[in-house]
Amino acid sequence: MAQGPLIILSGPAGAGKSTVVSRLLHEDGLPLRRSISVTTRDRRPGEKDGEDYYFWTREKFEAEKSAGAFIECATVHGQYYGTPRSEVDPYRARGIGVIMVIDVEGAAQVRLKYPDAITVFLKAPSFEEYRRRMLLRTENEATIERRLETARRELERTHEYEHVLVSDQVEATVAQLHDLIARKGARG
């Protein structure tokens, strides 16, 4: 059985990563799952442990990191984030593709360990669109400014990715990502 592809999807807050991946996973035709990351940040309203993230204490995260449990991990906005190996390797071995929605730092770590990964950077059509999308989340101004500064730094790293998609029309972006995975994932 061929190993499932590994897809790394990165992009600034407000790029539409969650929306695009959610729609992609509801399409038929691709044996694909999203890896679930671990975080030490507080849950946002509506988030579920084990579905959106695994919400761990800092102590548990640090212990697992010391034990080598993570493919990648980083500190973002003062919180730990990481992807456990158990969310990727067993599925790929069974021929199931795994899409990792991770930041640019995590993506750089994963590329070193998985050079066969398909790397995709998702960005909004304009910088002003990030602010508009963040305002829809009703985040406070200080949080928005911090995230916009992070977005500027992340956008400077688009050249590190094989593919860059603009998330303007959700359905079109989902179709582009689906086609990309179907084409590139077939290389095995």
pLDDT of residue 186: 58
Q: How far is CA 21 from CA 10, 50, 64, 140, 173, in A?
A: 11, 16, 27, 26, 10
Reduced to 3 states (helix: H, G, I; strand: E, B; else coil), residue 54 is strand
Burial class (CB in 10 A: 0-12, 13-18, 19+), 1: exposed
Confidence of residue 86 (pLDDT cuts 50, 70, 90): very high
pLDDT of residue 188: 46
Under CATH, to which class is 36-87 assigned? alpha beta
pLDDT of residue 30: 85
0.85 exceeded by the pTM?
yes
Per-residue pLDDT tens over the stretch 143-157: 888 889 999 999 999
Domain borders along the chain are 1-35+96-188, 36-87
Q: How far is CA 143 from CA 7, 27, 74, 152, 153, in A?
A: 29, 33, 19, 14, 16
Distance of CA 45 to the CA centre of its chain: 20
* Of residues 116 and 130, more confidently modeled: 116
pLDDT of residue 138: 64
Per-residue pLDDT tens over the stretch 172-186: 999 999 999 998 765
* Of residues 131 and 10, more confidently modeled: 10
Report the 10 Å Cβ neighbour count for 16: 22
Confidence of residue 65 (pLDDT cuts 50, 70, 90): very high
* Average pLDDT along the chain: 91
pLDDT of residue 162: 96
Q: Which CATH number fits domain 1-35+96-188: 3.40.250.10, 3.40.50.300, 3.40.50.720, 3.30.360.10?
A: 3.40.50.300
pLDDT of residue 146: 86
